[in-house]
Structures are given as C-alpha cells and as structure tokens.
Amino acid sequence: MRRVIAQEPLTEPVLLILLSLAAEPRHGYALMKDIEQLSAGRVRLSTGTLYGALHRLLEAGWIERFDQPDTSRDKQAYRLTRTGLKSLRTELDRMKQLTRAAAARLAWKEA
C-alpha cells in the first residue's frame, strides 16, 4: 500500500511562480512580469525573493533550467517538471476543498 505524504501549503510567491511556469517556460524577468499580471498588480516579487524561490524549486525538482536561444544575452529559462505540476495540482485541490468548506460554512451561518 502506497503511503501519501501531505504537502505543506505553498507560499503565495511559490504558487504564482508555478502557475506562471505552467503556462510556458520563462526567464526571471518574464516571471516577475507575469506574476504581477496574475496577481492584478498585488504581488511584485523582488529579485531576491524570486531567485531564492527558484533555487528552492530547482533543488526540489519542481522546476528545471534549460537553454533558451536569445541573441541579446544569456538568460536562464525555467520550466515546470512533472513533479512540479503534480505539486501545483495538489495545492490547487487543497485550496478548492478549503474554499468549498468556507463557502458552506458561510452559507450555513447566513441561513
């Protein structure tokens, strides 16, 4: 029997990085811009926060680097791995369950 290990909830920056990379591979600056757009301008990651999170995600095997042709300069591009996609889906399922429970509780309270 396979044991399922619970995943800790993802921080908002990590969740947004994974969501951004789920759409397409991106380099750091493109990630920062997409995350700002995804959050409707609410989240603006500093380079330190972004690259710290990217480093942890690389170590966990949730993302990987790959070469992306760019004539202007060398940019590190990142893409989501299968493990990263699975972790993202697990987190989104957790959030959906929590949202359903909260909506049901509020509906019961308002009745």
Rounded mean pLDDT for each run of 10 residues along the chain, 111 residues in total: 61 96 95 96 94 95 84 77 96 94 84 63
* pLDDT of amino acid 2: 41
Amino acid (one-letter) located at 8: E
* pLDDT of amino acid 1: 45
* pLDDT of amino acid 71: 44
Question: Is residue 36 in some structural domain?
Answer: yes
Length of the chain: 111
Question: Is residue 2 in some structural domain?
Answer: no
Question: Is residue 5 in some structural domain?
Answer: no
* pLDDT of amino acid 8: 86
Bridge partners of 63, per DSSP, are 80
Question: At 54, which CATH number?
Answer: 1.10.10.10
Question: Is residue 60 in some structural domain?
Answer: yes
Structure-token pair, residue 26? 């991106």
Task: Report the distance separating Cα 69 and Cα 64, nearest Å.
Answer: 16
Owning domain of residue 47: 12-110
Question: Is residue 87 in some structural domain?
Answer: yes
DSSP letters for 18-61: HHHHHHS-EEHHHHHHHHHHHTTTS----HHHHHHHHHHHHHHT
Backbone angles phi, psi at 63, to 5 degrees: -135, 165
How many separate domains does the chain show?
A: 1
